[in-house]
Amino acid sequence: MPVIKNEYQGRKPDEFRILLGLEGYPDSRNIKTYIEKSNGYKALEKVLKGGMSSEDVINTVKASGLRGRGGAGFPTGLKWSFVPKGPGEKYLITNFDEGEPGTYKDCYISEVTPHSLVEGKIIASYAIGAKKSYIYIRGEFHNEIRWCQEAIKEAYAAGYLGENIMGSGFTHHMDVYSGAGAYICGEETGLISSLEGKKGQPKLKPPFPAIKGYLGKPTVVNNVESLAVVPWIINNGPEAYKKFGTEKSPGTKLFNVSGPIAKPGCYELPLGYPLMRFINEDCGGLIGGKKLKAIIPGGSSAPALTAKECENLTLDYEAIAGAGSMLGSGAIIVIPEDVSMVSVLENLMDFYAHESCGQCTPCREGTGWLYKISKHILKGKGTKTDMDRMYSIANNMRGKTICVLSDAAADPARAIVTKFAHEFEPYLKG
């Protein structure tokens, strides 16, 4: 059973806020508010005027234990350190595609505190030696695009972007790139392809983007949340950051809660926070006192957990992986007792079949096949062998493709057909 930290007892989520400190301020997106109320651009000053080398910045982020908040949880500082040192073009790209169903935390960051992203990006770019960075953002996020553009404009006007920033000799330019809206463009190499003007399809690895990325140059792709928290880490030091969270999952994380729950929304929590306490107390529990059937803990690609499996579970990378799912983007989807898992499966498979880029055969054909079978089952036209077939198809899609979209479809399918097999029986012909 995971150990729940005593310090969380009796405290509300907003007491752990690092990233969302400006939440509630009327002009939180304004650079003035950011500077006055949130130590805005102090971290950048500390880096550029305080004599921090790029190595110092990388080491600080490494020491904080910050793990990428896009879903995979790869250590951020380590990722930066893979970029070759020395001269030559390098790029930093922010992954703001945010296409995983249930996930809207990055949108919330741009709504509340876009300057923390801009400042984090400048610092990260300094660390890897990038003179140019992009925010790759999903095209339908009209407001978010505008908010990011405004923040960049303000940062240019204040001298935090452009040539020779604060007289440090460091030059950096930033742009917003609006994507056409494809789930796969949230995969870093698919995103790079899209940014290059090609169809959004993942690229073979190796070579990895840190060596050969955007336009063939070394590139780091970081999630919005990973970058937005960097100024706080620089300002307060890695040890302060590590006071939050668990040993292997330090810091805070944004969690989105969706589904029939009293207080859905975006919350900042320290990692290791008790899941059911969060659902039942902080989020007010399920609407109408309904019983919980299942939770998808990390966006739609995370295998669903039964209500039983959620008991005593904490919100951190290790605990959720230990339960057979993943923390992913931290998008918690709550499924109540009266929702059929057959229809959940059909809905998810519909999504993945639509979003598969079509490049790798097992994913292109497998996602469509899973969707067709789940659709037939939902219509009451399935058979018992369809259940085994779905499991076999999903098994043979896993780990067989360039990116993990195939796994993202296969894992939820496997989890649902095994954990909720009894729910399928009424739908099967015989």
Partner 1 sequence: MSETVTLTIDGKEVTVPKGTSIIEATEILGVEIPRFCWHPGLSVAGVCRFCMVKIEGMPKLQIACNTACTEGMKVITVSDEVKDAHKWALEFHLINHPLDCPICDQAGECELQNYYMKVGRYSSQMDEDKVLKPKALDVGDNLVLDTERCILCSRCVRFEDEVTKTSSLGIFNRGDHSVIGTFPNRKVQHNYSYNIVDICPVGAFTAKDFRFKCRVWFLNETKTICPGCSTGCNVTLYEHKNQRQYYRLKPRKNLEVNGHWMCDEGRTMYEHLNATNRLAAPIMQGKHLSWNLLSKELKQKLEKVKGNAAKVALVLTPQYTNEEYENILSSLNSILGGLPNIFVWRDSKEKFDDFDGILMRGDRNANSKGLAQTLEKKSAQAIPLSGDFSPLASANAELVIVFGPEIEKAYSQFATEVSRFAEMTNVVYFGTTLNPIAKKFSLTIPTKVFAEKNGTFVNFKGIPQKLKANPLVFPAMKGIEDIFAEMKA
Tell which residue, 411, 217, 224, 255, has the closest CA to residue 334: 255
* CA–CA separation, 413 and 419 (whole Å): 10
Is 374 among the residues that bind partner 1 (CB under 8 A)?
A: no
The binder of partner 1 chosen from 53, 164, 361, 418 (CB under 8 A): 361
- Is residue 225 within 8 A of residue 69, CB to CB? The reply is yes
Tell which residue, 77, 86, 189, 180, has the closest CA to residue 138: 180
Residue (246 or 359) nearer to partner 1, CB: 359
Is 354 among the residues that bind partner 1 (CB under 8 A)?
A: yes
CB of 202 to partner 1, least distance (A): 10
Tell which residue, 220, 228, 276, has the closest CA to residue 79: 220
Is 367 among the residues that bind partner 1 (CB under 8 A)?
A: yes
* CA–CA separation, 239 and 228 (whole Å): 18
Is 264 among the residues that bind partner 1 (CB under 8 A)?
A: no
Residue 311: other Cβ atoms inside 10 A? 13
CB of 396 to partner 1, least distance (A): 4
- Is residue 382 within 8 A of residue 373, CB to CB? The reply is yes
CB of 236 to partner 1, least distance (A): 39
Give CA 110 to chain center in angstroms: 14
* CA–CA separation, 186 and 137 (whole Å): 9
Is 345 among the residues that bind partner 1 (CB under 8 A)?
A: no
The binder of partner 1 chosen from 131, 173, 217, 376 (CB under 8 A): 376
The binder of partner 1 chosen from 365, 391, 423, 428 (CB under 8 A): 365
Q: What Cα–Cα distance (Å) separates residue 219 from each residue in 210, 379, 389?
A: 5, 47, 41
Helix (H) or strand (E) holding 33, with range, is: helix 31-37
* CA–CA separation, 15 and 328 (whole Å): 23
Burial (CB < 10 A; 0-12, 13-18, 19+), residue 89, is middle
Is 204 among the residues that bind partner 1 (CB under 8 A)?
A: yes
The binder of partner 1 chosen from 224, 357, 403, 404 (CB under 8 A): 357
Is 100 among the residues that bind partner 1 (CB under 8 A)?
A: no
The binder of partner 1 chosen from 2, 251, 366, 412 (CB under 8 A): 366
CB of 355 to partner 1, least distance (A): 7
Is 368 among the residues that bind partner 1 (CB under 8 A)?
A: yes
Of 78-86, 127-135, 210-218, 363-371, the window that binds partner 1 (rule: CB under 8 A) is: 363-371
Is 356 among the residues that bind partner 1 (CB under 8 A)?
A: yes
Is 389 among the residues that bind partner 1 (CB under 8 A)?
A: yes
The binder of partner 1 chosen from 48, 92, 128, 182 (CB under 8 A): 182
* CA–CA separation, 112 and 108 (whole Å): 6
* Residues 392-421 interacting with partner 1 (rule: CB under 8 A): 392-393, 396, 399-402
CB of 184 to partner 1, least distance (A): 8
The binder of partner 1 chosen from 358, 391, 423, 428 (CB under 8 A): 358
φ, ψ at 13 (rounded to 5°): -55, -35
What single DSSP character describes residue 249?
S
CB of 413 to partner 1, least distance (A): 15
Helix (H) or strand (E) holding 391, with range, is: helix 384-397
Summarize as ranges the residues that interact with partner 1 (CB under 8 A): 182, 199, 204, 206, 353-362, 364-369, 372-373, 376, 389, 392-393, 396, 399-402
